[in-house]
Amino acid sequence: MGSYRVCMCFTRKFRVTEAEPTQDVKEVFKRYAGDGGTHMNAEQLRRFLVEVQGEPADSAGEAAEAIVRQILQKRHHIAKLTRQALALEDFHHYLFSTELNPPIHHKVHHDMTAPLSHYYIFTGHNSYLTGNQLTSNCSDVPIIKALKKGVRVIELDIWPNSTKDDVLVLHGRTVTTPVELIKCLKSIKEHAFIASPFPLIITLEDHLTSDLQAKVAQMLTQTFGEMLFCPESDCLSEFPSPEDLKHRVIISTKPPKEYLEAQNSLDKGNNSQKEKDSDEDVWGKEPSSLTAYEEDEDKIDVEVTDPDNSCDSKVYEPPVYKSLIAIHAGKPKGGIEEALKVEADKVRRLSLSEQALEKYAETHGADIVRSTQRNILRVYPKGTRFNSSNYKPQVGWLHGAQMVAFNMQGYGRSLWLMQGMFKANGGCGYVKKPDIFMDSNQLFDPKAEYSVKKTLKVKVYMGDGWHMDFKQTHFDAYSPPDFYTRIGIAGAPADEMMKKTKKKEDNWAPVWNEEFEFPLTVSEIAILRIEVHEYDMSEKDDFAGQTCLPVSESKPGIRAVPICDRKGEKYNSVRLLMRFEFV
């Protein structure tokens, strides 16, 4: 009996009550509700949707009726709608529903008819690695995961097997366990368009002889068939649009050496040491101890050699492989100026490491922006990120880089920002670059200080749902948690800041009611960062959830914000109630 009482006492300490509507919610309800402020019908809800939530007037009426119907059926199981109005608690339930009242748009709404170079594209780096860059297994599993998340660029490093008669995917000169290329290709075909109908780009880091390139060409054509986009001309003069390339697979890599004018067989090995030195300086080569992990198809030149002359009879085969390459990559001769040159009759892809981008951003920022209006720039993590960590994506985005390549298994704040960016435009993996990056007459200068265009006001009302998704003792063995919220902006340097609410002690459904203002100079690429932590006096504060939202997609009004775990997976129940307003 005694132990039973202890149990009851323990339970009481952790008792959870349903979150009460905040004062703001009560006032809004009273303002729009009829019947002396006790109930809100569909017409009154429609007015609220238009005037407070900023919903389009032409569709708000239908939306209001659907909301009233769904809420009453869910909360009161009223099938015949004998009462066609919401009480305060029903209205609060609607506001706190992440499905009915989301903070951002969920549909593709950007213009998808511009060339590919006009879009930020959700891009993976070493997409086949299950963990770190040196010892983890290579597999098609992380590729499938990335495709399900909406990633639109998959990178495969392709190498000969030990007998030189087949092609493997692995991280070169490391002890990563390889996976067969054909297995990766089949998984890509099966999952390519699950999350998005827009084109799937495969970037190949090619370390093959010409006969194996021919084998890859055969694999690609047999696996993808008509899904494979093959350009009609030798080199594209402009990239097609995502709309034109729906459900197509695009190959991007360096064309075979035999067909590059600067690298034909006659002048192989004739470059002067001076040219080599300047080349390494331009492309930001790592110290020799790191070069094994700096592999990139645009950085490391792998000679196509054939010591046994076994490929002499296969001179005809590389053209087939070359004809499948729609987006030509390559490291041009000369310095960065040559690499950033914009040509009227030719478009291409350039790759820079994160350090090289930072270096050239200092001296050639405007040139990079100009180049990315027509050409594609891919930025990839530096080779010392052995643990698959990531870098700040904003540097690339501010310079118009379309492919900011990330280790999708490298969970952390940088990846949260990447996931936040690509929640935009219905999560389709393509986000139209803002007009300021596409104006060729007045080039955007990433280093310039711009005036504030708009201010985002955010009010953090409350949070709820932790008691559903976490064990009662997860945060504290003896009392309810002490939650606080960190909120801020990631974007242009002038816009970046973080603020936080006070902590609310011993409450599973904390109410903060705190408002913050964020002045924005480049609101177009600003990401709203939201993190919830549980205060711990003696140790590091506990993580209690996070999300990142593209400011450009934020819906005004009172919104339910779903909260995610460290990997970016949505919790079942945890959410915040917030208000967004642009002034």
- Enzyme catalytic residues: 125, 171
Length of the chain: 583
Nearest to 408 by CA among 107, 15, 131: 131
In angstroms, the CA 393 to CA 525 distance is 11
Which residue blocks in 79-197 are alpha helix, DSSP H? 88-95, 141-148, 181-191
497, 520 in Cβ contact below 8 A? no
* Dihedral pair phi/psi, residue 318, rounded to 5°: -55, -35
Q: What angle do CA 29, 32, 35 make, to 5 degrees?
A: 90
| Dihedrals phi, psi of 25, to nearest 5 degrees | -65, -40
Checking 157-161 for CB contacts under 8 A at 24+ apart, the result is 157/126, 157/128, 157/205, 157/207, 157/295, 158/204, 158/205, 158/206, 158/207, 158/208, 158/216, 159/207, 159/208, 160/207, 160/208, 160/209, 160/212
Phi, psi of 156 (to 5 degrees): -125, 130
Q: CA angle, corner 108, sides to 104 and 114, nearest 5?
A: 125
Pairing of strands 376-380, 349-353: parallel
Nearest by Cα to 391 from 378, 404, 401, 402: 404
